[in-house]
Amino acid sequence: MRFYLTTAIDYVNSRPHLGTAYEKITADVIARYKRLAGVETHFVMGNDEHSQNVFRKARELGEDPLAYCDRMEGEFRDVWARLTVSFDDFIRTTEPRHRIAVQHLAQRCLEAGDVYEGDYEGWYCVSCEAFKQEKDLVDGLCPIHQRRPDWIREKNHFFRLSRYRDRLLAHFEQHPEFLMPEVRRNEIVRLLEAGLDDISISRAGQAWGIPLPFDEASAVYVWFDALINYVSAVGYGSDPQLFARWWPAGLHVIGKDITRFHCVVWPAMLMSAGLDLPTQVFGHGFVTFKGQKMSKTLGTVVDPLDAADRLGPDPLRLFLVKEIPYGSDGDFSWERFEERYNADLANNLGNLVSRVTTMVERYGGGRVQPKGAPWRLAGVAADALASYRRAMDQLALHEGASAAFRLINATNEFIAESEPWVLARRSDTGAELAQVLYDAAEAVRVAALLLLPIMPISCAEILRRVGEATQVDDLRLDRDGAWRTGAARSLVRADPLWPRLEGDRVGLIPATRAASRTEHVVTEPLNPPAPPPPAPAPERPSVPAPAPAPVVAAPTQATERISIDDFMKIDLRVAKVIEAERVPKSKKLVKMRIDLGTEHRTLVAGIAEAYEPDALIGRTVVIVANLRPAVLMGIESNGMVLAASPEGGAPALLTFDTPPAPGTRVR
């Protein structure tokens, strides 16, 4: 039995945060579980490096892009090592083996007739710097600039994704386990039913990326490039033997935001190239911090190393696995983390190890040996093992952890009810005492075995203390998970594994290390970031560009420092709202007529959820006056109203103590 497991590869424009670590940790638990279950496992992670952001970031830092990526690899590997993520291989998209695979696969898609050169022809408005669809034009003119767009062509390669809709739907029908959890599957199936458009897979004239084999002037689009890591890492196009050994993958562990890429685009690419599809894709949820999305600007990013330093990597791993139903979103807070640490580790498991080893030392001379039939704990352990396996096989990692803890709790109960200290005082209960101590030690051994994939370091130590003779890596669930009888074992008493936290713990939380560690990565602005720059390259309108979503959850965009000159390019003006009305059929859009002092303009703002149009009339606001016009819901918007936009919250307009005259420059 073989099992090839992957996680999403990560963008390298910032250090991994807790959410990224969550994915790797849960995947690592799965990998370790499979190995423990005797399955030959190949676990691969990596970095996604061919992004323009990475290129820009390196340039900003005055570094060679590749050198920058090398450095980031080191940072990522350090984090994964600290969290004991046991990957077997680490793939980078700048590696030769990856380039070979990408070009190979692109070539196969081309040969399958699925890649066509879309030297797309279309209307292009020079003023807008954007393609226009026929339906956008009014009397053949750009509605914004009242000028005739040019008919131009831009070379682009497209992948015939549309061709695979039916096959994908059929696959989903025949293999309901292909995408888990179910919520994600429903979303994708609906998306497929709605139909698919072909997608662009190349960008012309980009140096940072992999050239298309049949058009060296075009680079493979970064997400197309990135997905291929799953096969390049196992030798596709470069090592046929290795490839045959591991492909198809048993499981891709990814974030729920990128299921489309993995369950629509990726399988279609594989079908086109004549490769088997992975058995399963699992879209895990996100980890929030105190209920809020982790965001640099909100200061809600938790560095996984801070968490690991605080209580240890194993407690962090247990927390993430046991407290968050795998597949759902979950929340992290220091309070909760410490609460769980005390309850599960200090009070239950850790204390159990202490009391058992102490009693064995005191009442049994440090050795245990059964003197009869096992008591009730043997049955509990067998049940725990069974439900643990059932849960883990279904990727219900949290239930697997709970099953192990049921055994731990039962062992504590067992000790209370069998009262070894009473048995030890009597002279006629030697056999009973021996059996009770043996059973308790054996139950701890089984529990530690079950938790070994989740807490590898600590559980290895527990196994050592309860006299497990087998090397940790050689332990196997079916053989070693069974209740042992007969042989005597020596136990070791040692310091508490997880000292209980007392008192005002939260105050001791280390200052987030993000600041000290990321100075070379991000400089935080004091204020919310400026609105994003205008959309970069024009896209073929009839063939929507793939969402900019990378193959990992996009890290919060780093806001780069700009010069005063750059800032002065932005023309901020005071404006007064003269008319405001809801854009019909829209959820957030308000259409406004504003007074800029010298002129009146129409613009559209996405603030309807927070402001009633009527309440806006007469109000003084700040707008970006020199923004390119855009058409929203058929309305031309000439400018952007500034508002604070909290993550997931309602926007709040900028206001003045005393409204200045319309047209006043803001800076």
Partner RNA sequence: GCCGGAGUAGCUCAGCCGGUUAGAGCGAGCGUCUCAUAAGCGCUAGGUCGGCGGUUCGAGUCCGCCCUCCGGCACCA
Cα–Cα distance measured from residue 482 to residue 215, given in angstroms and rounded to the nearest whole number: 59
Binds RNA (CB under 7 A): choice among 347, 429, 490, 557: 347
Query: Given candidates 127, 133, 146, 186, which one binds RNA under the rule CB under 7 A?
Result: 186
How many residues contact RNA, by CB under 7 A? 67
Binding mask 143-182 for RNA (x = CB under 7 A): ----------------------------------------
CB of 545 to RNA, least distance (A): 11
- DSSP codes of every residue in 235-283: TTTT-HHHHHHHPSPSEEEEEGGGHHIIIIIHHHHHHHHT-PPPS-EEE
Nearer to RNA, 95 or 439 (CB): 439
Determine the 3-state secondary structure of 633 from DSSP: coil
Exactly one of 154, 215, 257, 539 binds RNA (CB under 7 A); which one? 257
CB of 432 to RNA, least distance (A): 15
Amino acid identity of 602? Answer: T
- Shortest gap between Cβ of 328 and RNA (angstroms)? 6
Binding mask 37-76 for RNA (x = CB under 7 A): ----------------------------------------
Residue nearer to RNA on the CB measure, 89 or 339 = 339
Which residues lie closer than 8 Å to 347 by C-beta, 6 or more apart? 500
Considering only the stretches 94-102, 197-205, 320-328, 479-487, report the one whose residues sit in contact with RNA under the rule CB under 7 A.
320-328
Residue 357: half-sphere exposure toward Cβ, Cα within 13 Å = 23
Q: Are 259 and 158 in contact (CB under 8 A)?
A: no
Comparison of 59 and 290: residue with beta carbon closer to RNA: 290
Torsion of CA 89, 93, 97, 98, to 10 degrees: 110
Footprint (CB under 7 A) of RNA, residues 472-501 = 496-500
Work out how close the CB of 411 gets to RNA at its nearest, in angstroms, rounded to a whole number: 8
Residues 22 and 328: their CA atoms lie apart, in Å, by: 12
Helix (H) or strand (E) holding 332: strand 330-332
Considering only the stretches 104-112, 303-311, 558-566, 639-647, report the one whose residues sit in contact with RNA under the rule CB under 7 A. Answer: 639-647
Asked if 191 touches RNA (CB under 7 A), the answer is: yes
Residue 341 makes CB contacts below 8 A (sequence gap 6+) with: 311, 315, 319, 498, 501
CA atoms within a 13 Å half-sphere pointing along the CA-CB vector of 63: 17
Q: State in angstroms the smallest separation of the CB of 104 from RNA.
A: 30
Minimum gap (Å) between residue 515 Cβ and RNA: 27
For residues 514-536, b (16+ Cβ closer than 10 Å) or e, as one string? beeebeebbeeeeeeeeeeeeee
Question: For RNA, which is the closer residue by CB, 328 or 523?
Answer: 328
d(C-alpha 233, C-alpha 249), whole Å: 11
350 touches RNA (CB under 7 A): yes
What lies within 8 Å, CB to CB, of 21 at 6+ separation is 79, 83, 304, 320
> What is the nearest approach in angstroms of RNA to the Cβ of residue 319?
11
| Residue (186 or 470) nearer to RNA, CB | 186
Task: Work out whether strand 635-637 and strand 330-332 pair parallel, antiparallel, or are unpaired.
Answer: unpaired
Q: 559-618: which residues touch RNA (CB under 7 A)?
A: 583, 585-589, 603-607
Would you say 5 or 641 has its CB closer to RNA? 641
> Does 129 help bind RNA (rule: CB under 7 A)?
no
CB of 379 to RNA, least distance (A): 16
Rounded to the nearest whole angstrom, what is the least distance from the CB of residue 359 to RNA in the complex? 4
Looking at beta carbons only, is 106 or 403 nearer to RNA? 403
What is the DSSP secondary structure assignment for residue 347, as one 8-state letter?
I
Which residue of 19, 237, 453, 639 would you call a contact of RNA, by CB under 7 A?
639
Instruction: Tell which one of 46, 255, 330, 456 touches RNA (CB under 7 A).
Output: 330
Contact between 648 and RNA by CB under 7 A: the answer reads: yes
Quickly tell me which residue has 């407290």 as its tokens: 323
The only residue of 62, 151, 190, 511 in contact with RNA, by rule CB under 7 A: 190
**Nearest in space to 321 (alpha carbons), one of 287, 348, 351:** 287
Quick check: helix, strand or coil at residue 654?
coil
Site for RNA in 351-390 (CB under 7 A): 351, 353-355, 358-359, 362
Cα–chain center distance at 551: 9
Contact 493, 361 (CB under 8 A): yes
CB nearer to RNA: pick between 44 and 583:
583
Instruction: Examine residue 640 and tell whether it contacts RNA (CB under 7 A).
Output: yes
Q: Is the dihedral of CA 306, 293, 53, 520 positive or negative?
A: negative
Q: Which amino acid is at 404?
A: A
Q: How far is the CB of 229 from RNA (least distance, A)?
A: 22
Antiparallel, parallel or unpaired: β 120-125 and 130-132 = antiparallel
The minimum distance between CB 512 and RNA, in angstroms, equals: 23
User: Within 524-543, which residues bind RNA (CB under 7 A)?
Assistant: 531, 534-535
Rounded to whole angstroms, the Cα distance separating 657 from 661 reads 13
**Percent helix, strand and coil across the chain, each to the nearest 5:** 40, 20, 40
For RNA, the binding residues in 452-471 under the rule CB under 7 A are none
Nearest to 446 by CA among 434, 433, 432, 462: 462
DSSP 198: -
Rule CB under 7 A: say whether 396 interacts with RNA.
Answer: no
Computed on alpha carbons and rounded to an integer, the radius of gyration of the chain in Å comes to 30
- Residue 621 found at the interface with RNA (CB under 7 A): no
Give the binding site for RNA (CB under 7 A): 183, 186-187, 190-191, 256-257, 323, 325, 328-331, 339, 342-343, 345-348, 350-351, 353-355, 358-359, 362, 409, 412-413, 415-417, 419-421, 496-500, 531, 534-535, 547, 583, 585-589, 603-607, 624, 627, 630, 632-633, 637, 639-640, 645, 648
